[in-house]
Amino acid sequence: MKFMLLVLQNVRRNKLRTTLTCLGTMVLVVVVTLVWSVLTNLQAQLDQDKSKMKAIVTERWRIPSQMPYAYARGLSEGAARKEGDIRPEDSMSWSFYGGSTDPEKRTRESMLFAIAMEPRKMTTMLDELDDLPDSQAQELKRVADAMEKNVQAIIVGKDRLAALKRRVGDRFKLTSINYKGIDLEFEILGVFPPGRYDQSAIMNIEYLNRSLEKYERETGRKHVQADRSMNLFWLVVPDTAAFNKISGQIMESPDYKAPAVRVETLAAGVATFMEPLKDILWGMRWLLAPAVLATLSLVIANAISISVRERYTEFAVLKVLGYKPWQILTIVLCEALIIGTLSGLLSAALTWLVVNHVVGGLPVQLGFFGKFYVPAAAFWWGTAVGAGTALVGSLLPAWTACRVRVAQVFARVA
């Protein structure tokens, strides 16, 4: 106890130095926390929930994938045709419809890209929306049910809604970008719960399909996108064995040859889309984060070194009083650890609070990923980074302190 009091007194002795070291540590831990948060969020996309494995079916040879909507019915059955074939647990189709509220001026503020799908699948198939707190889940179900009845209904994320300068209940018309000649009117029925879908929008696929049929009736010819209106098809399978089986069923089926399709796990698909970003991620992981950690160690090492040099006499007195070298070493290490650990923890907590609950996520637009959040694990990262760099930075000064020669110090003083 006395030992700890001594350490605390030492930490409090030079308040300016302690404050500056804490601030330096906190600021640099912020960077490490942010970098690791982005990397962890991306990794989470690659690590699938083993109890609910997702697979995606896309056009095999080109992107953007464009398949006939007619594929949806068979794919929802996992292309099961014969005895022994298995079916997916759940499925959904995705079509992308994009347009602008201002046909003359297509800006980020006027553009909206909506996923056209079966609204009821929002509550069972979309990550994070399938696991909402009760009140939010009920509200989402209410909106989904209303969207099933009103095909013109649309649900929009809060950030996109703000960018469009619209509110729930507003009606608006989109001049289409990818379905030329099919301009659709929408009624905003709800907003996604805050988080991952803040920039997203979902419409009823039935509305798009009916509009394509109407186009054909009115013009006498099929719309150029009519036979390629489905962009992705999602399947939920229980495990890898089921994935392999269903994947085989689909790939061998003659129904999906023109155009040919590919079935892959969500993780494999995400990995391919992340490929162009791999060098940036490498730089973040192996260049930026280590450089910040090294800088942090230097900042702490410098502060502790200065502190040790100023206290040679004190360490000599401690030795005279009977303190062993390892006890002096521990005193210095503990001083650094207290500063590093507390600063790291506080920094991570503040970063978590500000990013997740004040700013509402990091809007780093990497590929098709939305906002990034600081995971709860950041609390121990911050603590560990603060403590680890403090330990590394204080090892040499602590060693110097414990090797102080009493005779030499007092000779100098004398």
Residues making contact with another protein (CB under 8 A): 16-17, 20-21, 23-25, 27-28, 30-31, 34-35, 59-64, 98, 100, 106-108, 111, 113, 175, 177-178, 180, 224, 259, 262, 264, 268, 271-272, 275-280, 283, 287-288, 291-292, 294-296, 298-299, 301-303, 305-306, 310, 364-365, 367
Query: Residue 107 CB, nearest distance to another protein (Å)?
Result: 8
DSSP state of 45: H
- Report the C-alpha gap between 87 and 242 in whole angstroms: 9
Which C-beta is closer to another protein: that of 27 or that of 137?
27
Query: Residue 27 CB, nearest distance to another protein (Å)?
Result: 4
Burial of 346 (0-12, 13-18, 19+ CB in 10 A): middle
Give me the count of residues in the chain: 414
Query: Residue 349 CB, nearest distance to another protein (Å)?
Result: 17
Single-letter amino acid code for the residue at 309: R
Which C-beta is closer to another protein: that of 209 or that of 307?
307
Query: Residue 315 CB, nearest distance to another protein (Å)?
Result: 17
Which C-beta is closer to another protein: that of 28 or that of 402?
28
Which C-beta is closer to another protein: that of 106 or that of 158?
106
DSSP state of 157: -
Query: Residue 53 CB, nearest distance to another protein (Å)?
Result: 17
DSSP state of 52: S
Which C-beta is closer to another protein: that of 190 or that of 393?
393
Query: Residue 308 CB, nearest distance to another protein (Å)?
Result: 11
Q: Which residues have C-beta within 8 Å of that of residue 221, sequence separation ≥ 6?
A: none
CB 33 within 8 A of CB 374: yes
- Report the C-alpha gap between 122 and 132 in whole angstroms: 11
CB 183 within 8 A of CB 175: yes
DSSP state of 89: S
Which C-beta is closer to another protein: that of 23 or that of 162?
23
The structure tokens listed for 64 are: 């953007």
Rg (CA), the chain: 30
Which C-beta is closer to another protein: that of 177 or that of 377?
177
Residues 18-24: contacts with CB within 8 Å, 24+ apart? 18/339, 20/303, 21/299, 21/300, 21/303, 21/339, 21/343, 22/339, 22/342, 22/343, 23/343, 24/296, 24/299, 24/300, 24/303
SS3 389: helix
Which C-beta is closer to another protein: that of 107 or that of 240?
107
Which C-beta is closer to another protein: that of 194 or that of 259?
259
CA-based nearest residue to 24, from 311, 379, 302: 302
Which C-beta is closer to another protein: that of 267 or that of 406?
267
Pairing, β 53-59 against β 232-237: antiparallel
CB 253 within 8 A of CB 82: no
- Report the C-alpha gap between 114 and 97 in whole angstroms: 5
Query: Residue 97 CB, nearest distance to another protein (Å)?
Result: 12
Beta bridge partners of 173: 185
Single-letter amino acid code for the residue at 281: L
Query: Residue 339 CB, nearest distance to another protein (Å)?
Result: 11
Which C-beta is closer to another protein: that of 86 or that of 267?
267
Pairing, β 153-156 against β 184-191: parallel
Q: Which residues have C-beta within 8 Å of that of residue 164, sequence separation ≥ 6?
A: 101, 109, 110, 112, 156, 172
Query: Residue 251 CB, nearest distance to another protein (Å)?
Result: 13
Query: Residue 98 CB, nearest distance to another protein (Å)?
Result: 7
